[in-house]
Structure 1
Amino acid sequence: MDNGLAHEESAFINFRRYVPGLMEHGFQWVDIKQLRFAAESVDDRGLLAALIGHEQFRDDYAGGGVLPDGPRHGPYLLRLITPDLYESISHEKAVQILREWMDPLRDVFTELEADLQREVFARLAAADGIYYLSELGDEAIHDWGRVHDSFHEFVLIDRPAERITLIVAADD
């Protein structure tokens, strides 16, 4: 276990974004990392701190993968991310953020919808706590951190299952 957390599994859902009538296209994707924690683990803020300290958190989400000693997390400098930057949000708010991010694709791909239901929305529904990473601002962006058009990060805590799940939804 690393910082009291053990990485169990990861999933990645990648799909092409195309907006009819616009020339813009690219990719949207969701990265899911699931970790196990001990039943006697600390409160939610302590679990967030353990996640931030875990090597699986050191992912720039730009093709480099997890770098155990990496200084980046997504578009941000890792050293500037703290548990206090995560806002507790409702299940409904999390679904709203994701549905708005997915639009206009939301009703188009039934296979995609099934994957998202299984890997993302079912996990959201099972979570006891849902935390959303606030926008950190320009001073927290690393040297090439603007490669993502959007970057949404959720941390789900499921105490009965003793799991914490990191979900990143972004596009480029």
Structure 2
Amino acid sequence: MESGLAHGESVFINFRRSMRDPKEHGFRWVDIKQLRFSADPVDDEGLLAALIGHEQFRDDYAGGGVLPDGPRHGPYWLGSITPDLYAPISQEKAVQILRDWAAPLRDLPTGLEADLRREVFARVAAADGIYYLNELGDEAVHDWGRVHDCFHEFVLVDRAAGRITLIVAADD
């Protein structure tokens, strides 16, 4: 177990940016990584630090996958991200951000809605703590970090399940 966390399940949901125009080439996607933590009491800041230190966090979300020694996380330099940059938010706020991003006009196809409900919103509902990584500013953005139109990152802590879940929702 690295950084006190063990990687478990990963889920990837990919869909077109526009539900109305199937010719549009842009996509939206959600990448979900679940990691288990031990029953030893650790506060949420410690769990966030362990997540940041885990190799699964070293993903630029631009097609390269996880690079165990990689210097990037999403659009940011890995060294720019610290636990205190994650703001606690309510379940309602997390759901609002995700729904507004996924389909501003609320016209999700039935299958996609079911996938998001099962893989994203059910996990949000089960979380004891929800943290949102706010925009870090230009100095934290790596050399090609603006490849995504939107980048939303949530960390869910589910103590009953002994699980921390990293949810990244982005456009490309």
Moved more, 88-97 or 108-117: 108-117
> 1:26–1:54: structure 2 CA closer, same or farther, 3 Å change rule?
same
Report runs of 4+ in structure 1 exceeding 4 Å deviation.
none
Cα RMSD after superposing both structures = 1.5
1:102, distance to aligned residue in structure 2 (A): 1.2
Partner SS, residue 62 of structure 2 = coil
Moved more, 149-158 or 96-105: 96-105
Q: Percent identity over the alignment?
A: 80
Is the CA contact 1:156–1:166 (under 8 Å) kept in the aligned structure 2? yes
The answer for the alignment partner of 1:160 in structure 2 is 160
Query: Distance in 1 between the 2:104 and 2:167 partners?
Result: 21
Structure 1's unaligned 5+ residue stretches are none
1:85-96 pair list within 5 angstroms: 85-96=85-96
The answer for the alignment partner of 2:62 in structure 1 is 62
> 1:18–1:25: structure 2 CA closer, same or farther, 3 Å change rule?
farther
The answer for the alignment partner of 1:118 in structure 2 is 118
Query: Distance in 1 between the 2:15 and 2:30 partners?
Result: 9
Is the CA contact 1:17–1:105 (under 8 Å) kept in the aligned structure 2? no
1:1-172 pair list within 5 angstroms: 1-18=1-18, 20=20, 25-104=25-104, 106-172=106-172
Is the CA contact 2:19–2:107 (under 8 Å) kept in the aligned structure 1? no
What is the TM-score with the length of structure 1 in the denominator? 0.95
Partner SS, residue 68 of structure 2 = coil
Amino acid at match of 1:101: W
Partner SS, residue 60 of structure 1 = coil
What is the TM-score with the length of structure 2 in the denominator? 0.95
Moved more, 152-161 or 34-43: 34-43
Query: Distance in 1 between the 2:89 and 2:107 partners?
Result: 25
> 1:47–1:131: structure 2 CA closer, same or farther, 3 Å change rule?
same
Is the CA contact 1:19–1:25 (under 8 Å) kept in the aligned structure 2? no
Amino acid at match of 2:93: K
Partner SS, residue 152 of structure 1 = strand
Structure 2's unaligned 5+ residue stretches are none
Query: What CA deviation, in whole Å up to 9, does each residue of 1:16-56 have, x standing for no partner?
Result: 112658x9650000000000001114100000000000000
Is the CA contact 2:133–2:154 (under 8 Å) kept in the aligned structure 1? yes
Query: Distance in 1 between the 2:36 and 2:105 partners?
Result: 32
Amino acid at match of 1:142: H
Is the CA contact 1:19–1:104 (under 8 Å) kept in the aligned structure 2? no
Query: What CA deviation, in whole Å up to 9, does each residue of 1:44-100 have, x standing for no partner?
Result: 000000000000000000000000000000000000100000000000000000011
Tell me the number of residue pairs that the alignment of Structure 1 and Structure 2 aligns.
171
Query: Distance in 2 between the 1:86 and 1:28 partners?
Result: 23
